[in-house]
């Protein structure tokens, strides 16, 4: 659908915009469509990623207007864009640092869900201090040969592509010898091994790279300039995690390996499925979810529960306003320094409060797991997964360090000289090389 004159000149009448989206959904959306077909239509229309520039498949709308689109998609009850790290992290990174060819190669399959992504950043010795990473890539003609280990790779077993950072110049200081690639996961040099969590699932993995190959044309950004590219990914991760949820009345994971593309969308709009709409609703709006739960279990009159519900609601509301303020001020002189970090930190508090509230409201029923448990087991799932958000995307302590330095102007943490070659640093008990 072509953009209207209003969108072309950047002045959007939000009533007309909502109408335009509703017309598209009336014509194109049905819960009986396969996920593959719906995501194809959604991507084709430009409404899936309305804030993206038009030349990469978006509508060039402002973030405020894009929120109108997302709210309309949710209101009509349509499935949202693919979950996972492609849309959340790979897309903003490629839009900012990718070449025209890379945008053409990677963005469309990522919005229409035909390819899934994972993030190959953390290593056994490089998490908070990510720039200490040791996985190395060595040039071989038009390709690079990659050797090393990554860990905590969410959905690595379902991914087609990985956002990989590795060391390409050990003689440069640690932040200046890193390069960023988009690596194909299905190849002989890559082994993905699952790590079991206390939820019972194995969402994340260890990934071993032994002579894995990646073309130089899949290098995102400059050679040895990967730290800046990785920071775009990390900023998107913190902003996304702190802002709490996207559009759509349900969500699912992309890619052939997840096996969902040929199922009807209606499978992912149900409220009972574990990891389905109930879970995403609880994660996106924990206050409304918990208030509903307290009402259902006759606990909404309990003063202790009410007190914590009010606290959860307040934190969530403040988080949403801070996210709006951060988006509005981003890159402007009156913007809030370290705003995504503040948002991420607050999300950790919300998660901890939701972790405690669910079982307090439900009692023993809140410990049941599985699809047949009340509310699809989402309360026990939330409780067992609760440590995760305060670790991934940078731990709470790291967020506080960044806020201290960037927002409060405190001195930087002591560390090795920024000009010391990586080869001469000590990582763990050994020299870095
Ligand atoms: C659910 C989940 C999913 C994840 N998914 C991915 C993924 O898909 N891809 C990926 O690459 N990684 C992923 N991670 C890894 C995550 O990014 C790292 O776990 C995180 O960066 C912390 O690194 P670490 O585990 O090595 O802990 P460490 O860095 O060893 O930290 C250990 C402890 O020391 C504290 N600490 C460390 N340095 C400092 C400091 N300078 N000041 C104060 N305290 C400090 C930390 O806060 C923490 O409490 C995931 C993690 C989780 C839990």
Domain with residue 134: its CATH number is 2.40.110.10
Distance 326 CA to ligand 1 centre (A): 24
Per the CB < 8 A criterion, the answer to whether 290 and 354 are in contact is: yes
Residue 307, token pair as written in the block: 């007190």
Q: Both 232 and 175 in a single domain?
A: yes
Q: Both 129 and 229 in a single domain?
A: yes
Which is it for the CA torsion 28, 257, 144, 188, positive or negative?
Answer: negative
Please report whether residue 141 resides in a domain: yes
Please report whether residue 109 resides in a domain: no
Q: Both 291 and 192 in a single domain?
A: no
> What's the confidence (pLDDT) of residue 273?
43
Please report whether residue 149 resides in a domain: yes
| pLDDT tens, per residue, the chain with 433 residues | 444 444 555 556 888 999 999 999 999 999 999 999 999 999 999 999 999 999 999 999 988 888 899 999 989 999 999 999 999 999 999 999 999 999 999 999 999 999 999 999 999 999 999 999 999 999 999 999 999 999 999 999 999 999 999 999 999 999 999 999 999 999 999 999 999 988 888 899 999 999 999 999 999 999 999 999 999 999 888 776 544 444 678 889 999 999 999 999 999 985 434 444 555 566 668 899 999 999 999 999 999 999 999 999 999 898 888 877 877 776 666 677 888 888 889 989 999 999 999 999 999 999 898 878 888 888 998 899 999 989 988 899 999 999 999 889 999 888 777 789 999 887 665 666 6
Global pTM reads 0.89
Q: Both 229 and 124 in a single domain?
A: yes
Strand partners, 215: 143
51 CB-near residues (< 8 Å, 6+ apart): 58, 59, 60, 61, 62, 63, 65, 66
Please report whether residue 48 resides in a domain: no
Q: Both 226 and 166 in a single domain?
A: yes
Q: Which atom of ligand 1 is nearest to the CA of 395?
A: 47
Q: Which atom of ligand 1 is nearest to the CA of 154?
A: 8
Q: Both 209 and 320 in a single domain?
A: no
Q: Both 203 and 287 in a single domain?
A: no
Of the candidates 209, 238, 267, which is a domain's last residue? 238
Distance 132 CA to ligand 1 centre (A): 13
For tokens 């790291």, what's the residue?
398
Please report whether residue 50 resides in a domain: no
Take atom 12 of ligand 1 and give the residue whose Cα is closest. 122
Q: Both 298 and 203 in a single domain?
A: no
Please report whether residue 412 resides in a domain: no
> What's the confidence (pLDDT) of residue 372?
86
CB distance 395 to ligand 1 below 6 Å: yes
Q: Which residues are catalytic?
A: 237
Please report whether residue 187 resides in a domain: yes
Structural domain total, the chain: 2
Distance 183 CA to ligand 1 centre (A): 23
> What's the confidence (pLDDT) of residue 330?
67
Of the candidates 238, 267, 302, which is a domain's last residue? 238
Q: Both 198 and 290 in a single domain?
A: no
CB distance 389 to ligand 1 below 6 Å: no
Q: Both 136 and 225 in a single domain?
A: yes
Q: Both 288 and 216 in a single domain?
A: no
Distance 392 CA to ligand 1 centre (A): 6
In the chain, the largest separation of any two C-alpha atoms, in whole Å, equals 70
CB distance 117 to ligand 1 below 6 Å: no
Please report whether residue 126 resides in a domain: yes
What is each CA distance from 137 to 115, 159, 166, 289, in whole angstroms?
24, 21, 6, 46
Q: Both 153 and 224 in a single domain?
A: yes
Take atom 27 of ligand 1 and give the residue whose Cα is closest. 127
Domain residue limits at 124: 114-238
């Amino acid at each position: 659908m072509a953009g209207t004159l209003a969108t072309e000149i950047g002045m959007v009448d939000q009533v007309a915009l909502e109408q335009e989206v509703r017309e598209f959904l009336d014509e194109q959306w049905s819960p009986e469509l396969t996920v593959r077909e719906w995501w194809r239509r959604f991507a084709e229309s430009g409404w899936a990623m309305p804030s993206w520039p038009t030349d990469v498949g978006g509508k060039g709308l402002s973030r405020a207007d894009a929120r109108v689109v997302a709210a309309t998609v949710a209101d009509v009850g349509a499935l949202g864009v693919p979950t996972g790290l492609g849309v959340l992290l790979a897309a903003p990174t490629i839009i900012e640092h990718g070449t025209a060819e890379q945008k053409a190669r990677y963005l469309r399959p990522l919005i229409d869900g035909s390819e899934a992504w994972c993030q190959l950043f953390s290593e056994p010795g490089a998490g908070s201090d990510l720039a200490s990473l040791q996985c190395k890539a060595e040039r071989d003609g038009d390709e690079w040969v990659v050797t090393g280990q990554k860990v905590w790779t969410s959905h690595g077993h379902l991914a087609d592509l990985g956002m990989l950072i590795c060391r390409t110049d050990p003689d440069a200081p640690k932040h200046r010898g890193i390069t960023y690639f988009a690596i194909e996961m299905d190849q002989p040099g890559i082994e993905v091994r699952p790590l079991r969590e206390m939820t019972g699932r194995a969402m994340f993995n260890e990934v071993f790279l032994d002579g894995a190959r990646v073309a130089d044309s899949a290098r995102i950004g400059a050679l040895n300039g990967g730290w800046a590219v990785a920071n775009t990914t990390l900023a998107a991760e913190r902003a996304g995690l702190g802002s709490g949820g996207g559009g759509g009345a349900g969500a699912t994971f992309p890619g052939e390996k997840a096996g969902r593309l040929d199922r009807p969308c209606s499978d992912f709009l149900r409220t009972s499925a574990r990891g389905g709409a109930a879970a995403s609703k609880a994660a996106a709006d924990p206050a409304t979810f918990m208030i509903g739960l307290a009402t259902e279990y006759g606990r909404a009159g309990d003063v202790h529960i009410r007190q914590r519900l009010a606290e959860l609601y307040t934190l969530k509301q403040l988080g949403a306003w801070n996210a709006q303020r951060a988006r509005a001020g981003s890159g402007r002189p009156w913007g809030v320094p370290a705003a995504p970090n503040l948002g991420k930190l607050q999300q950790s508090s919300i998660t901890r409060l939701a972790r405690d509230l669910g079982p307090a409201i439900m009692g023993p029923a809140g410990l049941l797991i599985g699809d047949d448990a009340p509310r699809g087991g989402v309360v026990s799932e939330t409780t067992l997964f609760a440590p995760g958000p305060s670790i991934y995307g940078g731990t709470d302590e790291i967020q506080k360090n960044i806020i201290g330095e960037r927002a409060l102007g405190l001195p930087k943490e002591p560390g090795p000289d920024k000009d010391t070659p990586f080869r001469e640093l000590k990582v763990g008990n050994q020299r870095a090389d």
